[in-house]
Amino acid sequence: MQIMYNSKTDLLYLRLDDQQQQVINKRVSEHVVLDLGKDSRIVGIEILDASRNLNLQALLPVTYSPSGEGSEQGE
């Protein structure tokens, strides 16, 4: 999974599937757009106006623990 934030557009993007594929955008609310891939599976999530809708200071940088191992910093 990749998490990217663009401060110029204030867009937070969560990429859930690394596989290269065509996607269809589906707006599910005023600030959330889903990228749907094969079999309508969610490939990515776009959050518009992210700084107004999320506490980015608490979210970024992302800390995660893959497979229950020690903490690492994600980009």
| Residue 39 lies in domain | 1-52
Q: Please tell me the predicted confidence (pLDDT) of residue 57.
A: 81
pTM of the entire predicted model: 0.74
Residue 57 covered by a domain:
no
Q: Please tell me the predicted confidence (pLDDT) of residue 60.
A: 73
Residue 30 covered by a domain:
yes
Question: Which residues, including other chains, have CB under 8 Å from residue 1's CB and lie 6 or more apart?
Answer: 14, 15, 16
Q: Please tell me the predicted confidence (pLDDT) of residue 37.
A: 95
CA distance 28 to 59: 22
Residue 6 covered by a domain:
yes
Burial of 41 (0-12, 13-18, 19+ CB in 10 A): middle
CA distance 15 to 3: 6
Counted domains in the chain: 1
Amino acid at 13: Y
Amino acid at 3: I
Residue 73 covered by a domain:
no
Taking only the tens place, the pLDDT of each residue in 31-71 is: 999 999 999 999 999 999 999 998 888 777 765 555 544 43
